[in-house]
Structure 1
Amino acid sequence: MSNGPNRILDDFAKLLTDAAGAAQGVRNEVETAFRAQAERILNSMDVVQREEFEAVREMAIKARAENKKLAARLVEIEASLAQSGKKSSRKTASDS
């Protein structure tokens, strides 16, 4: 059994430990309430979530790459058609 000043110090240390635990609990409650409120505000503002933004960004990157491929292919096809047209016009000119 503790006696005199040691018991008072032990009780005081226990009180401080309990107070620190209670303060931590209050902090957790405040953080949880703040996050919930922030989430409600962001949802009402129709702010896009990061995951959705990243998904759409990846889709845009892929679409740009595909557009570049298609543009290059179109240039090749147009060049091929132009070559075919020149050959056809030479044949008709020589046939006349």
Structure 2
Amino acid sequence: MRSIPYWVITGLMIVGSGVAVWAWFAGDGSIPARQYLVLGAALPLIFKKAVEVVTGAKPGVAASSPTAAANSGKLADYFQGAGGSRVA
């Protein structure tokens, strides 16, 4: 929680989700706010799954081993899985 890169990535995902929802529904004023919120909340998961499809890697659990827990919090962990190994 004290990791600066964690908060930078989290902030970028929050802002990016808002921008993506705004761009997706631009000019559509008849959509309920609930639909904006659902898509905005789902976009990080959609992005994560898209990265998995492109890279073929699945992120692992950060605390799966003491070494992985010590090295967690890196952007590479998000895309490659904890400790750089692929989790099946």
Compute the TM-score of the two structures, normalised by the length of structure 1.
0.27
Which structure has the bigger radius of gyration? 1
Q: Could you say which structure has the higher helix fraction? A: 1
The higher-RCO structure (CA 8 Å, 6+ apart) is: 2
